[in-house]
Structure 1
Amino acid sequence: MNLTDHQNRLTTGFIIISLLIHLLLLLLPESSLLTTVPKPEPLYVEVRPQAQRERELDLPLPPKLEKRRETPAKRLAEADQVVEKEVAPEGQDSEDLPPPSLAVPAQQPDNLSRREQVVTESQPTRAEAETTAPVSPAGDRLVQRGEQRQEPQLPDLAQLTQISPTTLAKIERDWRQKYREDVAKGDTVWMDTEQDLLISFMRRFRDNIYGVWNYPAHAAEGGQEGTCLLRITINRRGDVEDVELIESSGSSVLDNEAMRAVRLGATYGPLPQSYPNQLLHIMAFFQYNLSRVSYRRPVRMY
């Protein structure tokens, strides 16, 4: 019985101690027993859309000055300006050029001494010596061969019709100056114009013509070369209204082939909507050059 009482007392003591420990845990605050990590404060990030840079066309117009400027600005802005009429020097026509002056041979000085004149008269000329000297049959053949070698060779048609690059450049420059009056109207441009408004149209215009333009075979065999100037009229739909021969290349075959290529290459697509006129006149050079055979094509338009 004593052993049983001793066990009961131990069990009762453990139960009491356990209850006291649990009661102590319940009564004491939680902060005093465990160390808690503080929660970080939330960080708010504002996402803004990317700011778009203002383009030149979107910039607001400058305010108009109430008072007119008395003195002009030192530097004007780069902008297109329309003048009443373009002024250019008048070109020189080939018919207006003065005839080339003949070179006058320089007079020989008369201060030759009498001794030199006597020596010259006393020595027989080479032709007289050959005439008086006896010539063998073998010598006759040598003289005949020498005469055949000395015969001048006549230039062929290709050499006669070929124009030097310097002369060709001068002719083109004179033609551009001569027809500057037409360009001043505003609806006539040269083929090599740098207007941004017509760049795409000019590219289509050039590609279509190169696709159908050929060097006439019989003209190439005959060595015919030259450059002609055409004035081409295009409507807003891109169709050819008229092709006018302004300056001939000297060969009707070459001129007709250039005009045929312009009409055959149509249509060239509509003109830009922002183009102000109903018709577009194009001044274009059509060059035939046999020396360009080694390149991609022996014809060139500019």
Structure 2
Amino acid sequence: MKSTNFVIALLLFATALTANAAPLLNGLALEQQFNKDRYIAAVYSERLSGDANALLDNNQPRSLQVRIIADRLSARRFRNQWMEGIAINNPGNVLTGQAENMVTFANMFKGRLMAGDQLRIDYAADTGTTSVSLNDIMLGMIEDREFFNTLLRAWIGPVPPSTDFRDDLMGSGQVNSGLLEKYEALQPGADRVAQITAMVDAQEAKEEAAAEPAPQKAEPKPAQVVAAPKPKPDLSADIPPPSLAAIGAPAIEKPASAPAKPAASAPVSQPKPLKPTTTRPATPMDEELDEEEEEAPLTADMILARQIYHSMLLRHTFKHINYPKRAQERGQEGSVRLNVTIDNKGNVKTVSTLQESRYSSLNREAVEAVERAGPYPATPAQLKIDEYNFTVPITFRLPD
């Protein structure tokens, strides 16, 4: 009897542990830019899966984590690149509904991220709350059940930073042991933790001071006309469908005997592992990392304007991409990611390669496509900027 009770107790204890277990490591992905390691991203989930829909299940706790490898990384650039991914991997109605939350999220990123920093974004399935912390110091919380998936789609949606990046995050628990060892070794020092703590405390004090009403003399106020709130723009017609088929060239035929299917119906295939290299002179981001100038306060309208504009720029670029004939004949496929800077009139100022495929013809065509696409549509007036920087992910894929 005692042994039976002991077994039951063990089973109950194991069940309790399982119920309160932290999400499991689903996959790790290395982000490289200009052939330099920038950070390692991780997706944790209660249930391991290689299916995007399963990882987007709101009924399970999940976590996104980023550990910084680079000596320093502009928090603003990191944030803006994530916002670009959000814009092209979420439907227009989601972007509109999450605009205010995106402002809250974006304003959490200040200054620089440093080597060893650990950014953590946790989703609580019971409350639907997303919490954001840096080096275990809380930056903020967003109480919206749909917000976490808005972030996650930027990583595992149809147009991720790269196909390798997405596939590695969807590894169902199968991760590279060397990358895992490097990931676990990335830890912030005590001085860095103290620095973040002081930064957060100063920001909270600033917000509290701003919230206190200033003493005013009681004076009669003139009657004011209250303007009706502006409706949020409908993005359904402005955001192009985020699919790899939309990024590839027009329908093409594979060489040899296999009959080609229409490119629009081609399934997304698993890419070959491609290690980014830099063969074309690129402009490093090191100078940009030193920028500390103040930017205009972000608003929901500004977030939406940037997202609409970014999608417009991508759609404009895709019209000018041609799949190199020689690459088609040789069955060459790959992904390229470019960093583009244009002035406020849409003229191309610089084009540099963040990540390349293994084939020079595809890399060259991606750069030339951007050059052919200029001038781009002018920047929206509400952004009030002299130049605009954006990334262009291009996937060359032959139909099956």
Pair member with larger Rg: 1
Higher relative contact order (CA 8 A, sep 6+): 2
Q: TM-score range by the shorter chain?
A: 0.3 to 0.5
Q: TM-score, normalised by structure 1?
A: 0.37
Q: Which has the higher strand share?
A: 2
Q: TM-score, normalised by structure 2?
A: 0.29
